[in-house]
Chain A
Amino acid sequence: MVFKLNSQLLSRIASGNGHGEDSPYFDGWKAYEADPHHPTENPNGVIQMGLAENQLCFDLIQDWLKKNPKASICTPEGLNEFREIAIFQDYHGLPEFRNAVANFMGKVRGNRVTYDPDRIVMSGGATGAHETIAFCLADPGEAFLVPTPYYPGFDRDLRWRTGIKLIPVDSDSSNNFKVTIEALENAYEMAQLDNIKVKGLLITNPSNPLGTILDRETLRSIVRFINEKNIHLVCDEIYAATVFSQPDFISVAEILQEDIECNLDLVHVVYSLSKDMGFPGLRVGIIYSYNDAVVSCARKMSSFGLVSTQTQYLVASMLSDNEFVEKFIRESKRRLAARYRVFTHGLDQAGIKCLKTSNAGLFLWMDLSGLLKEQTVEAEMELWRVIIHEVKLNVSPGCSFHCLKPGWFRVCFANMDDQTMHVALSRIKTFVNKEADTKKKPKKSLRWQGSLKLLNTPRIYDDFINSPHSPIPHSPLVRARN
């Protein structure tokens, strides 16, 4: 007799597609994974520009590790600490880790604010931090407002297991996608009419994918808005240290110090070292909440995503080295600025415009609406397929960020070496020139029908791509040096 388990015996979470990975954002990864670029072995492969990873300063970190072998606790120099660290499993985290992170967070914000180490809660990356916050603040069916365009992973991180909803708040390309109170009010009203209970507002500052930061006035009005509505404010500040040119980054913490009426119990910050330090592999996510109940609840939840104590110790040692941290932040910004300059200049030569107001992040928000056959999402997807398969660049289309205006693409530029970047630039230039030529000629047949089908088949590539963030152990930079 053959007994087969009924597939319905899995939960809705396991069998549904709440993971949100059936999106072009993730499909692009598959195209990259199937044919990754390598300068010598596969010069015509797809270049990964969909990965917001900061690899420009790995050398600094490596130098520090070499100079501080003690920090890894597992070397003879660091062995004094070994016993304590190896066995430690308190979910509060090592005190030195919390102190160092609080100190670092203040430093990144120009020492204009201080953070209380006792409010630092750790989690498995910003991914885990967002989910934990969602679990703490809302029950299934309740909603968060999120200004668009926003990071596609939110659809998974905040919604999948928690059962909460995200309500996109529209923005407009005509004012550079700025968050406006009118749009927030409007979305809030609409949700009310729809009988959806709005529990909070999630803002990303600096924004992913825009690379813009919120100015003081906008932040103040956002704080007033949430206070007036009595809803939570979750600030995702994971790109805080990537602000590479003026104006300076302003954290919500700074606004709260000012003369403004706000119930502090409503404000929560999500932070991580993945972007600012370029440490995604360490999986260090941080929740900083001004609400005691949330701190204590999130802390109990942190047992679902504790950072290994060895890593905690390593991070604590590194971040307590003030001299190193300051040098690192300075140098990282300098390199990001330089890369940004070169890249935007190159695009400019090709006649491609990017969002002008951006001065942060590891990516550009590129406007290709001029290349669209018509101003629709379908045309955007068509162009995106051409870019993936013909130009061989994995960029992420605006629709995956819930951007209403078609034709915008996010292009990551910090996860590759100079050489790869130049290859990418020249591919774009060639493509744009060719497009300009063919525009005069009649339309050609739809060549990418076949590939389209492939992308829509069930998740056959799942084994290769198991994560939107992290499917690939080898980044282009690594390959380049290989």
Chain B
Amino acid sequence: MTRSRLSRTRSSQHDEETKQTTTTSSGGTAMRVIVPLQGVVQGRGGLFLGSVIPCALFYFLQLYLRGKHCDDPTDQGDPTRDPNAPSPSGSAGKLAELPGFPRNSSRNLLSPRSPRGPVLLSGRVNEMVKSGDSPYYAGLKKVLEDPYDEAGNPNGVIQLGMDENKLTLDLVEEWFVENAKEAILGGGGGGGGEGEELSISGIAAYQPSHGLMQLKVAVAGFMSQIMENAVSFDPSLMLLTAGANPAIEMLSFCLADSGNAFLVPTPYYPGFDRDVKWRTGVEIIPVPCRSADNFSLSIAALDRGFNQAKKRGLKVRGILISNPSNPVGNLLNRETLYSLLDFAREKNIHIVSNEIFAGSTHGSEEFVSMAELIDSNYLDRDRVHIVYDLSKDLSLSGFRVGVIYSFNNNVLAAAKKLTRFSSVSAPSQHLLVSLLSDTEFVQKSIKNNRVRLQKMYVAFVAGLKQLGIECAKSNGGFSCWADMSELINSYSVKGELELWDKLLNTAKLNVTPGSCCHCIEPGWFQFFFANLTERDIPVVMNRILKIVSVCKASS
């Protein structure tokens, strides 16, 4: 049984459990029995038989304790339980506590309820309050308070920690100047009085929560174009969501139960901790990749991760890969993808392929989508799910359009119902339909995006190199992954965070430290450059230079 799993199930009872020790001296013993029991009872299937005996033992312990505490007032309701009591809602049967009778009554038994006390929130809130702000949020806050502006605030904090792309914003803007007049109310095209009346209903009224069909068709076309028509996407396998974050969360909800796990190669996008784990209760098993082989994924490492999880009693439900990877920016080649599929088949697990930067590759290497392999390998497509984000490649991050593309009908059906918690607002959908239907514009935008990204990438990496900082080889994404391990005082996360602090507070650069991305080698940093202009690069480099000289001098 894993510790984290247990702490989840126990968190709600935590207060009561601490009181319990004061109530009865045998409480500690009871918990020693309860704890492994809970793990067993909560669905490690084959262990059922093994749990029957301790269960019985525990039940007798209960009887014993009850006898001892029959004068406890909170206890009295229990034996006289009213059969007409308000029945729990329909889903109760599916809740994990179905076999949890001993746990419930023990709670009642051991914890006199006090009606007054601190305001109780959920475990998720408490977790968040306890952990405080991660460097990600701390940095973000700094930027909000004191943002850099070349003319207005030249000493402000420069944002290098945000995955936004401003490089082709001018093209999109240009398009809107020429075409947007009818795009907002135009909807399905065709002017005239009647058409306009239709369009207001088309915007304001309820729409299918998983996206308009016209937009799905347009997105499918756009994705194909990004992949140089190597794949054709089927709009009926597609769901649209308010950004890639909910898309990943939905897949996590659909593919894994609370307490199950995903294998995720590290370093990974820090947001996965929120998207995959936070509300779902799903675990992430980090699969370390190393600088020695440019952080590329090896099946051997996956296998180790899988076995490790098994030893911890975790059920692995899938692999979550990012291709192009984020933060490193390398691509998975065809061969690796095939071996990933084989691995998933062998272990009978899912593959979630996060391809949100597919349109933002900038190197010479070829990008291969998981969908391309599936086309020809259709027998096993049920386990493959692709996540895409339209707004990233189009420089429209504010529009928040994520895509789930799954070959599994059951997943599609369930996720379709989940999309109503996070659907894309209708005006933006209509606007994007018009934008994406302009193939000429789309082609121009994709091409320019790649060219400009490459230019910025080359300039940024060269700038760092001049300061003696090497970057991992990257072929996609909005960032570079820099090795600053020579600048840290102690080769540890602590040393890394000290440098991060200097970068943020002395050099006024908000960057992402590698430990946020769960990188096992300290000293790596992620620099996002796609929201800068070329003029900003020397400013950034000068600021880093200051830190470099300070660090070099002190060592």
Contacts and interface: CB of A to CB of B under 8 A. Distances in A.
A281 B207 contact: yes
Interface in A264-320: 265-266, 278-284, 291, 293-294, 296-297, 300-301, 303-311, 314
A88 interface: yes
A86 B169 contact: yes
Given A75-B184, A293-B121, A11 B425 contact: no
B345 interface: yes
B184 A72 contact: yes
Given A72-B184, A281-B207, A141 B12 contact: yes
B426 A282 contact: yes
Contacts of B181: 69, 75-76
A452 interface: no
Max chain A CB contacts within 10 Å: which of B12, B89, B176, B408?
Answer: B89
Nearest to A16: B94
Interface string B68-85: 000000000110111001
B414 interface: yes
A51 B91 contact: no
A263 interface: yes
Given A86-B172, A163-B96, A194 B417 contact: no
- The B interface, classified by DSSP as helix, strand, loop or mixed, is helix
A445 interface: no
Contacts of B257: 11-13
Nearest to A158: B89
Max chain B CB contacts within 10 Å: which of A2, A58, A283, A462?
Answer: A283
Contact of B428 (A9, A138, A166, A308): A308
Interface stretch (B108-116, B216-224, B486-494): B108-116
A190 interface: yes
B12 A197 contact: yes
B243 interface: yes
A301 B91 CA distance: 24
A236 to B, nearest CB: 16
Contacts of B96: 140-141, 163
A462 B88 contact: no
B437 interface: no
A49 B97 CA distance: 39
A83 B173 CA distance: 8
A87 B398 contact: yes
A6 B88 CA distance: 31
B382 A467 contact: no
A301 B380 CA distance: 34
B206 A74 contact: no
Contact of A190 (B11, B82, B104): B82
Contacts, number: 363
Contacts of A232: 119
A125 B423 contact: yes
A86 B395 contact: yes
Contacts of A87: 164, 166, 169, 395-398, 531
B90 interface: yes
A102 interface: no
Contact of B184 (A7, A21, A74, A281): A74
Interface in B408-440: 408, 410-411, 413-418, 420-428, 431
B214 to A, nearest CB: 10
Interface residues of A, number: 123
B57 interface: no
Interface residues of B, number: 118
Interface stretch (A201-209, A335-343, A474-482): A474-482
A329 interface: no
Contacts of A197: 12
Contacts of A474: 201
A14 B89 contact: no
Given A19-B417, A76-B180, 16 more contacts: A9-B349, A14-B411, A79-B173, A79-B177, A86-B169, A86-B398, A124-B246, A138-B122, A165-B89, A190-B82, A193-B82, A283-B423, A284-B425, A304-B245, A304-B275, A482-B198
Interface of B: 11-12, 77-78, 80-82, 85-86, 88-92, 94-97, 104-105, 107-108, 113, 115-117, 119-125, 128-129, 144, 162, 164, 166, 169, 172-173, 176-177, 180-181, 183-185, 194, 196-198, 200-210, 212, 242-243, 245-246, 249, 253-258, 260, 271, 274-275, 279-280, 317, 345, 348-350, 379-380, 382-383, 395-401, 408, 410-411, 413-418, 420-428, 431, 531
Interface of A: 2-7, 9-16, 18-21, 51, 53, 55, 58, 61-62, 65, 69, 72, 74-76, 79, 82-83, 85-90, 124-125, 127-128, 131, 135-143, 155-157, 159-163, 165-169, 187, 190-197, 199, 228-230, 232, 263, 265-266, 278-284, 291, 293-294, 296-297, 300-301, 303-311, 314, 459, 462, 466-475, 477-478, 481-482
> Which 9 A/B pairs are nearest by Cβ-Cβ distance?
A309-B398, A470-B206, A281-B426, A14-B414, A74-B180, A5-B382, A305-B422, A14-B254, A308-B428
